[in-house]
Amino acid sequence: MDASTTARRLGRAAALAVAVVLAVTACTSGGGGSADSATKSEPPRQDSEDINAKPLDQVKDGGEVRLQLDQWITQWNPLQVDGGSYTDTVNLIRALEPSLFRTDASGTFRPNPDYLVEAKVTSTSPQVITYRLNPKAVWSDGKPLSYLDFRADWQAGSGKDPAYNIYDPSGYELISAVEQGAGPGEVEVTFSEPYADWQNLFRPLIPAAGIATPDDFNKGWVERIPITAGPLKIGVADKTAQTLSLVPDPAWWGARAKLDRITFRVMDKAASIQAYLNNEIDLASAGTATAYGQLKNAKDTVIRAASPWDEVHISFGGTGALADRKVRQALGRALDRSALIKIANNGVPVEFKPLGNHIIMPNQAGYQDNSGDWATFDPAAAKALLDEAGWKESGGGRPRTRDGRPLELHWVLNDGSTQAQLDLATAAAAMWQTVGVKVDLDKVAANDYFAKYVTPGKFDIASWRNTDSFPNSKGLANFRLPVGDNTFSNPSRLGTPEIDALLKKAAGTVDPVEAAKLYNQADAKIWELGHTVELYQRPSVVATRKGLANYGAFGLATEDYSVLGWEK
């Protein structure tokens, strides 16, 4: 995972670096292949999933896999804003807590039999979901899973009590009641409005005992996981050594996890490449030209690629000159996206194609390009929009002015940006200069990039990745209007009641074809708003140790650490 680019709540998945860096969406790992032979890899296909899938009888029992982690995980509660905004946290916690559904390579939800006997819609007016829980499923404190856990997650996650500092209320805010069903192992969840993506809720389910108060919710999961119910548990968590391990939980009622240990080491992407080459970890990102060049012919290595929900964009702020929609629209019309994408794509073995949708990826049903004129390179149209906004040409390469003020904007960049990121930003700034907009590139400390600039909305222009905004209803948080101080995952604070209404209506439309029509209508309005210029869907390209099974590039599928291992 790319800690510098996985801020899911900010472009959903919370991505933590400027957009054009390509890094793996799955963590890198460690140890098991021999190092005597070189495996030359053909350029990878961008398949829906590429994980060397093997049935469990073809996977060894025992052993260790070593993976890279971008940053130390401090907040383990995925419902809390600092936990849910970090993709690493969400992926790991699903191995430690009940994840009622998983997604397959097509993005289709499949019930997890370790926790569910059945879950289905039992009423449509109002919508009621009845969950029948696996009677073997118990928390580490000995209590069985029950409606009390569902109720606690709903009450905390709905956003109705501001004392709970939540990540995203989508879906939870539409629940009107959670009650016990026919027996203690049955749960009935009633919605005030239809919600199509109900299977994405309670993924994972967090124990009521761990979030009984706002203080428990916000602080009780800092540097600790108070209660678990998964195939794995924390083995070692050494903050000083920046090492974390997961080991099989002997109390687990399902099939034992294949490995004895999964070890995560915190390191940046540059260090992970050398660590992989030194056989210290078993997977590394190969998504940049430099990384791919170093890893493609490494010993015992296979390059894998897939297309996850992961997009790269340029985002505009909503203050100053950019409070004017025409100025934002002009910036979009002045960009030659194809030229910018070529900069990012240079030397990477899969083709990046222009992305025309903020909500639906090209490998999802319902995708269509809604960018229209708003992402069509047309400097003359950009100049006309700036004229209409009252920004007058100054000539001589100088920025336009209005009321004596120059049209000068600032692009905030992470100081850890790669050369490709800098080249892309420099190229975009040159394009804007030709229409009379001066854009300065301001580098800021990596640790401050989101905390002090993007999240508080203190930027004119910034670029990051939106990851894991799947299913589609999760896209609402990226574009919805703020409510008080809660900006959801929309740091620019740009939006309209019409966009909110379309996205909410789509989220409540059970027919996927009709829902896609509504999402696409909303997306066209987002393009018109000048909220974000989408660049491309970012592929996951990784180098994996030969023989690593059930792990690699997942696309739209859910990672499952319990089946990760080495081929027999």
Q: Are residues 267 and 327 in the same domain?
A: no
Query: Domain check: are 354 and 485 in the same one?
Result: yes
pTM of the model as a whole: 0.81
- What token pair was written down for 161? 């009590």
User: Is 6 among the domain residues?
Assistant: no
Q: Mark which of 167, 186, 219 sits at the end of a domain.
A: 219
Q: Is residue 172 part of a domain?
A: yes
CB 71 within 8 A of CB 3: yes
Question: What is the band of 44 on the pLDDT scale with cuts at 50, 70, 90?
Answer: low
Question: For position 63, which CATH number holds?
Answer: 3.40.190.10
450 Cβ neighbours under 8 A, 6+ residues apart: 7, 10, 14, 16, 464
For position 27, what pLDDT does the model report? Answer: 30
Same domain flag for 46 and 89: yes
Q: Residues 484-533: pLDDT tens digits?
A: 888 888 999 999 999 999 999 999 998 999 999 999 999 999 999 999 99
Residues whose CB is less than 8 angstroms from the CB of residue 438 and which lie 6 or more positions away in sequence, other chains included = 399, 406, 407, 408, 409, 432
pLDDT digit string, tens, across residues 432-489? 999 999 999 999 998 889 889 998 999 999 999 888 888 999 899 899 999 888 888 8
Q: Report whether 171 contacts 473 (CB < 8 A).
A: yes
Domain count within the chain: 3
Q: What domain range is 263 assigned to? A: 13-96+230-308+540-566
Say whether both 486 and 363 belong to one domain.
yes
pLDDT of residue 338: 97
Is 129 inside a domain boundary? Answer: yes
**What is the distance between the alpha carbons of residues 280 and 289, in angstroms, rounded to a whole number?**
22
Could you tell me if 462 and 524 lie in one domain? yes
pLDDT band at 47 (very low <50, low <70, confident <90, very high): low
Q: pLDDT, tens digit, for every residue of 354-393?
A: 999 999 999 898 999 999 999 999 999 999 999 999 999 9
Q: Does some domain include residue 224?
A: no
Cis? peptide before 471, omega within 30° of 0 = yes
Measured between alpha carbons, how far is 223 from 228 in angstroms, rounded to an integer? 14
Has residue 3 been placed in a domain?
A: no
Query: Which is higher by pLDDT, 288 or 507?
Result: 507
Residues 295 and 315 in one domain: no
Question: For residue range 178-226, what is the model confidence (pLDDT) as tens digits?
Answer: 999 999 999 999 999 999 999 999 999 999 999 999 999 999 999 999 9
The chain-wide mean pLDDT, for the chain, equals 90
Q: What is the pLDDT of residue 12?
A: 33
Is the Cβ–Cβ distance between 223 and 74 less than 8 Å?
yes
What CATH number is given to the structural domain containing 449?
Answer: 3.10.105.10
Half-sphere exposure in the Cβ direction for 409 (13 Å, CA): 29
DSSP string, 153-197: HHHHHTSSSTTS-BS--TTGGGEEEEEE-SSTTEEEEEESS--TT
Q: What is the CATH number of the domain that holds 211?
A: 3.90.76.10
Q: Is the pLDDT of residue 36 over 50?
A: no
Q: Is 2 domain-assigned? A: no
What confidence category does residue 411 fall into, taking pLDDT thresholds of 50, 70 and 90?
very high
Helix (H) or strand (E) holding 128: strand 127-133
One domain for residues 467 and 562: no
3 state SS of 321: helix
